């Protein structure tokens, strides 16, 4: 039986599911949140919604609905610019935000985060070995993820975004010191047209040590979205 690294952090179980609101408009996002009701508490909003209109008004609306907010914009710029962006975002009531880049960028974000929890991206779950080779990363994927996680911890980031395939290795090396948010969750077999390549199931992600999972398409594209969200919630509950 594989070793278990179940999260020890005092996170309410129903907050461990983060729904990715990957839809083209604020109105569609609001309708989806209304439809899901109390089956989802935590939402990730990314670049697609950022480009669609009133992104920050939508954050305010989510907070009025007693939802938690994960801003996934993967800030990457000169360190001073990232620091100012994170400082501004920390005043919006956001719970989690992603950054990408080198030590100076992570340091600037950590210094300006306030109550916002900053997450460093390790290696995108849409990238496989061939993609990383093309980008010039000749090291093993796990080595890359571990190196970035160690740097993020040392610098003062609160956590990382990592495929569930690498989380057990991170827990062995770093224990539960960092928050680990795992995207690329697929409750069912991967579709051929799915651009997520390094994926895991709900149970595998938590057994490997994830604190949160991010689920998008399996809920968004379901015929009964709330039913699927509740099924995932029950899968999570069974692990704790």
DSSP letter at 65? T
- Among this protein's residues, is 154 annotated catalytic? no
CA dihedral of residues 173, 178, 183, 186 (deg, nearest 10):
60
Decide if 4 contacts 27 (C-beta within 8 A). no
Q: In this structure, what are the phi and psi dihedrals at residue 3, rounded to the nearest 5 degrees?
A: -65, 140
Out of 74, 87, 117, 226, the active site residue is: 74
DSSP assignment of 166-221? HHHHHHHHHTT-SEEEE--B-SSPPPTT----S-B-HHHHHHHT-SEEEE-HHHHT
Which amino acids are annotated catalytic?
A: 74
């Amino acid at each position: 039986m594989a070793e278990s690294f179940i999260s020890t952090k005092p996170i309410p179980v129903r907050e461990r599911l983060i729904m990715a609101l990957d839809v083209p408009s604020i109105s569609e996002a609001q309708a989806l949140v209304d439809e899901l009701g109390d089956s989802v508490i935590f939402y990730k909003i990314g670049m697609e919604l950022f480009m669609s209109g009133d992104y920050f008004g939508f954050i305010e609306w989510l907070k009025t609905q007693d939802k938690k907010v994960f801003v996934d914009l993967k800030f990457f710029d000169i360190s001073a610019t990232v620091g100012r962006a994170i400082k501004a975002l920390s005043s919006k009531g956001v719970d989690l935000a992603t950054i990408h880049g080198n030590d100076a960028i992570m340091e600037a974000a950590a210094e300006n985060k306030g109550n916002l929890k900053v997450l460093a991206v390790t290696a995108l779950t849409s990238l496989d070995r061939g993609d990383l080779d093309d980008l010039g990363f000749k090291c093993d994927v796990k080595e890359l993820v571990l190196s970035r996680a160690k740097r993020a911890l040392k610098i003062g980031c609160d956590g990382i975004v990592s495929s569930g395939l690498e989380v057990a290795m991170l827990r062995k090396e770093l224990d539960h010191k960092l928050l680990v948010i795992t995207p690329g969750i697929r409750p069912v077999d991967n579709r051929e047209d799915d651009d997520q390549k390094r994926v895991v199931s709900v149970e595998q992600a938590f057994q490997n040590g994830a604190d949160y999972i991010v689920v998008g398409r399996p809920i968004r594209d379901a015929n009964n979205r709330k039913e699927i969200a509740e099924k995932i919630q029950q899968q999570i509950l069974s692990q704790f």
